[in-house]
Amino acid sequence: MKDFFKGRFFIGMIIVLALLAGIMVNFLAGGGTTPPQQLIGILLTPFQSAAVSVRNSVSDFFSSFRERDTLREENENLRRQISELEEKLEQNYLMESENERLRLLLGISEEHPEFTFTAADIVSVSSGGWQATFSVNKGTSSGISRRDVVVCADGLVGYVQEVGVNWAKIVSLIDPQVGVGAIVVRTGDAAMSEGTPELKADGKFRITHLSPSATVNRGDIVCSSGLGGSFPSGLRLGTISDISVEDNGLSKSAVITPAADLENIKRVYIINNFEPE
């Protein structure tokens, strides 16, 4: 009998009974599922979990595509809005710049209400760092003639030297060919403008024949006097930047920085009804 309790058969029965007892306890604690159901659940749960994971991954994959398309569309809309804003800002800047030019030009119009102006854009310039001569896109078809006076919003630029049907060549103040009767506004001293090759290289010109007793200073404004009849009076030429006594000691001269920004000028206005004497 003692051998029976120690035999393998008895031990096996104990193991089977223990398994059955465990299954029964699990059955009672697991909501009443039968052992086959438990076994099926144990076997199927990993596959179900894997299927759910795959389903979620596929859903996330396609969702990412939809979100990417949405983001791309939003980015395109933002780029379009930014482009429209930049275009509006550029238009506003151009309008403000043009209004400023016209406001300054209005000063010339008020001084000479009889003048009519034709706007022209610069299309080519002479070689070198400074625009001593340049061409514009208006000519005889726009009423432009030789010797017409050319101004910008800041003051006198020069005159028309040559003209075609739809173009004109302008010579500016810094060119040695140009001479303008001048007056120092503060003191009333009369002079004559004169371009030189040396000053032309610096984008400047000078006025000569100032009285030796003239009390002109750096920064004084110089305008056209109308003397000689080639240019109307009251057009700003520039400001005095340096003063010297001529070699003969009988007169002074002064270097002038032009009022017109000849290095960056883009548009000019041609007075087409002034008749030079």
Whole-number pLDDT of residue 54: 58
Contacts 24+ apart (CB under 8 A), 176-182: 176/200, 178/205, 179/228, 179/230, 180/156, 180/224, 180/228, 180/230, 180/231, 180/237, 181/224, 181/225, 181/226, 181/227, 181/228, 181/230, 181/231, 182/207, 182/222, 182/223, 182/224, 182/225, 182/237
Domains of the chain as residue ranges with CATH = 117-271 (2.40.10.350)
Q: Name the least confident of 127-131, 138-142, 258-262.
A: 127-131
Q: What is the DSSP letter of 25?
A: H
Whole-number pLDDT of residue 217: 94
Whole-number pLDDT of residue 62: 58
Distance CA 208, CA 199 (A): 13
Q: For the chain, what is the mean pLDDT?
A: 79
> Distances from the Cα of 35 to the Cαs of 16, 48, 171, in angstroms?
15, 19, 109
pLDDT tens sequence across 150-172: 998 889 999 999 999 999 999 99
Whole-number pLDDT of residue 276: 77
pLDDT tens sequence across 43-86: 556 656 665 565 666 566 556 656 777 777 777 877 777 777 77
Asked if residues 214 and 189 have their Cβ atoms less than 8 Å apart, the reply is: yes
pLDDT tens sequence across 89-125: 566 545 555 555 555 566 676 777 888 889 899 998 8
Q: Name the least confident of 10-19, 21-30, 74-83, 168-177.
A: 21-30
3-state secondary structure of 11: helix
Q: Name the least confident of 33-37, 220-224, 251-255.
A: 33-37
pLDDT above 50: residue 145: yes
Whole-number pLDDT of residue 46: 62
Q: What is the pTM of this model?
A: 0.62
Whole-number pLDDT of residue 98: 56
pLDDT tens sequence across 28-44: 555 555 555 555 555 55
Whole-number pLDDT of residue 93: 47
Backbone angles phi, psi at 190, to 5 degrees: -90, 150
pLDDT above 70: residue 273: yes
Distance CA 34, CA 67 (A): 46
Quote the percentage of the chain above a pLDDT of 70. 66
